[in-house]
């Protein structure tokens, strides 16, 4: 019995699961040579983010713009369909991408599933070694959250819930703020969202990890700084901004279409945070798709985990990615401690390097802030999807094994090859970039789902 337990502990404390190590290696070898830089995290730290598709396309808000295909709202939300489809998609991701990866439970509005269906979908994702995050507009009551976290038998179903709340003034129909005039009109809803999770933790001990999402168009670009500051102050662990791409239902575009660059959004985020946000030393996939700044906030001040201008920090990055890049640290304390010991035993240079890095981080934040300022992780992200008009021809050419001639299509193909956000198709055994899913596959998939799950009278 003791021997069995020790063996289980030894196996759980492996820094990287062998399947994940193999998936990382495969991902790295698939990347275009130009993407295999010292900063690249794909294939060294992560196999990429994952998301569901075709599992609950319907939504009860009307966003302008909306990435969903025109038919999405004529499909019934059906928990049995959701759970079966999520289960099959996650099984394929587990097979091809190993364990411990972040996966978004995404489609239309997840809370239309009802708390039990939602819980079953999250459980299926966890069973396949995913770290699920529910993507929602956040317009639900505490009662829903409580019934999601606590089963009908009164027992806690989850120790930790990860949610991303999408709040921006382009969304119409939210209770109490049906037609926001500006981003600040939504601050009460943003705060109430966090407050529900704080209450859940207080009353039931369920921890949380919350992200804040916002779509950016020329209309609200000037308010990004305020939203970044607000999300930081309210207790979100991530603030993610998506410049709107021309995808989805064309009827949902109300304003003149004008692409917004990642640089413009980043400048606004930096204005809100009040400091430079270093990003080029840690890259997930292609820099035209993603930009992230990973840091810690304490007593209202943000500092980067690694300073891109300090060569010592760049050495920390290199050593970490070599020694423990694929490590999943979301483990119980004892397992984590043993895992760290194993990493240090294997690469003793890690210990003094980590001490030096910790000291520099403490100085950047301020020792007093670190000790008394309730430090927590805070990441800023911009994810720029591509327009359907370039994704479709670029993908079709890739499917024929061709490199496109037009420079903008070639650029799209490079981005699709380094994609960091995949969706699984169990029927074909393939993973496809989310851009391809939304721009090429969603419309047809939704037509099929409309036949399979028609909306009944009164729904």
Element (H, E) at 348: none
Comparison of 36 and 199: residue with beta carbon closer to ligand SF4: 36
Could you tell me which stretch among 190-198, 286-294, 321-329, 352-360 binds ligand SF4 (CB under 6 A)? 286-294
Q: Which of 289, 370, 381, 432 binds ligand SF4 (CB under 6 A)?
A: 289
Binder of ligand SF4 out of 20, 413, 420, 446 (CB under 6 A): 420
Those residues with Cβ within 8 angstroms of residue 381's Cβ, 6 or more apart along the chain or in another chain? 238, 239, 240, 241, 290, 291, 292
- The token pair at 149 is 């976290």
Give, in order, the Cα–Cα distances in Å from 435 to each of 59, 90, 242: 20, 19, 13
Looking only at residues 162 through 201 of this chain, which bind ligand SF4 when binding is defined by CB under 6 A? none
Helices 79-97 and 115-127, packing angle to 10 deg: 20
Q: Which one, 149 or 245, has the nearer CB to ligand SF4?
A: 245
Q: Which is nearer to ligand SF4, 340 or 435 (CB)?
A: 435
Residue 421 near ligand SF4 by CB under 6 A: yes
Nearer to ligand SF4, 13 or 242 (CB): 242
Q: 3-class DSSP state for residue 373?
A: coil
Cβ atoms of 356 and 28 closer than 8 Å: no
Q: Give the strand order in the sheet containing 101-105.
A: 301-304, 290-298, 376-383, 238-243, 207-216, 160-166, 130-136, 101-105, 49-51, 421-425, 430-433
Paired strand residues for 423: 51, 432
CA distance 213 to 37: 28
Q: Is position 435 an interface residue for ligand SF4 (rule: CB under 6 A)?
A: yes
| Shortest reach from residue 412's CB to ligand SF4, in Å | 8
Among 285, 304, 325, 375, binds ligand SF4 (CB under 6 A): 285
Q: H-helix or E-strand containing 124?
A: helix 115-127
Provide the 3-class DSSP secondary structure of residue 346.
Answer: helix
Answer for which of 104, 433, 445, 446 binds ligand SF4 (CB under 6 A) is 433
By CB under 6 A, tell whether 415 contacts ligand SF4: yes
Q: Which is nearer to ligand SF4, 305 or 386 (CB)?
A: 386
Q: Which is nearer to ligand SF4, 99 or 292 (CB)?
A: 292
Residues that bind ligand SF4 (rule: CB under 6 A) add up to a total of 16
* Residue among 308, 299, 298 at smallest CA distance from 277: 308
Inter-residue contact 379 to 292 (CB < 8 Å) = yes
Site residues (CB under 6 A) for ligand SF4, limited to 110-169:
none
Q: Which stretch binds ligand SF4 (CB under 6 A): 73-81, 142-150, 373-381, 430-438?
A: 430-438
Q: List the x/- string, 378-407, binding to ligand SF4 by CB under 6 A.
A: -----xxxx---------------------
Question: Could you say whether residue 409 binds ligand SF4 (CB under 6 A)?
Answer: no
Collapsed DSSP state (helix, strand, coil) of residue 77: coil
- Residue number, 46 or 353, with CB nearest to ligand SF4: 46
Strands (DSSP E) contained in 109-261 are: 130-136, 160-166, 171-172, 207-216, 238-243
Among 210, 378, 419, 424, binds ligand SF4 (CB under 6 A): 419
Among residue numbers 225 through 254, which ones bind ligand SF4 (CB under 6 A)? none
* Binding region for ligand SF4 (CB under 6 A): 285-286, 289-290, 383-386, 415-416, 419-421, 433-435
């Amino acid at each position: 019995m003791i021997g069995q337990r020790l063996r289980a502990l030894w196996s759980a404390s492996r820094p990287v699961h062998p399947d994940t190590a193999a998936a990382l290696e495969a991902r790295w070898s698939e990347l275009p040579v130009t993407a295999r830089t010292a900063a690249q995290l794909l294939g060294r730290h992560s196999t990429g983010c994952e998301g569901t598709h075709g599992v609950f396309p319907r939504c009860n808000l009307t966003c302008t713009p909306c990435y969903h295909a025109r038919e999405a709202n004529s499909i019934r939300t059906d928990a049995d369909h959701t759970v079966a489809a999520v289960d099959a998609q996650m099984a394929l991701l587990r097979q091809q991408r190993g364990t411990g990866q972040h996966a978004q439970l995404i489609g239309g509005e997840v809370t239309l599933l009802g708390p039990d269906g939602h819980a079953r979908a999250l459980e299926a994702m966890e069973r396949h070694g995913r770290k699920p995050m529910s993507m929602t507009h956040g317009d639900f009551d505490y009662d829903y959250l409580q019934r999601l976290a606590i089963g009908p038998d009164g027992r806690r179903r989850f120790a930790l819930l990860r949610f991303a709340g999408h709040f921006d003034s382009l969304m119409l129909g939210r209770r109490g703020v049906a037609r926001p005039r500006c981003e600040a009109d939504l601050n009460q809803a943003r705060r109430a969202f966090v407050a529900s999770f704080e209450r859940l933790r207080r009353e039931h001990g369920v921890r949380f990890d919350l992200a804040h999402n916002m779509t950016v168009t020329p209309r609200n670009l000037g308010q990004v700084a305020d939203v970044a500051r607000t999300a930081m102050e309210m207790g979100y662990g991530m603030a993610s901004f998506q410049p709107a791409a021309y995808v989805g239902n064309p009827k949902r575009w109300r304003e003149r279409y004008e692409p917004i660059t990642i640089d413009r959004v980043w400048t606004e985020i930096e204005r809100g945070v009040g400091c430079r946000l270093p990003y080029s030393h840690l890259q997930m996939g292609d820099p035209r798709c993603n930009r992230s700044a990973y840091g810690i906030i304490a007593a209202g001040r943000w500092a980067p985990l690694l300073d891109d201008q300090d060569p010592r920090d760049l050495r920390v990055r290199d050593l970490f990615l070599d020694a423990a890049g694929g490590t999943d640290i979301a483990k119980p304390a004892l397992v984590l401690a043993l895992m760290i010991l194993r990493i240090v035993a294997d690469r003793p240079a890690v210990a003094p390097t980590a001490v030096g890095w910790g000291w520099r981080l403490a100085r950047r934040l301020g020792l007093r802030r670190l000790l008394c300022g309730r430090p927590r992780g805070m990441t800023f992200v911009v994810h720029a999807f591509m327009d359907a008009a370039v994704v479709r021809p670029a993908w079709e050419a890739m499917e024929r094994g061709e490199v496109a001639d037009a420079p903008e299509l070639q650029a799209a193909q490079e981005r699709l090859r380094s994609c960091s956000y995949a969706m699984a198709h169990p029927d074909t055994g393939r993973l496809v970039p989310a851009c391809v899913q939304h721009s090429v596959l969603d419309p047809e998939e939704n037509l099929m789902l409309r036949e399979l799950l028609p909306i009944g009278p009164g729904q």
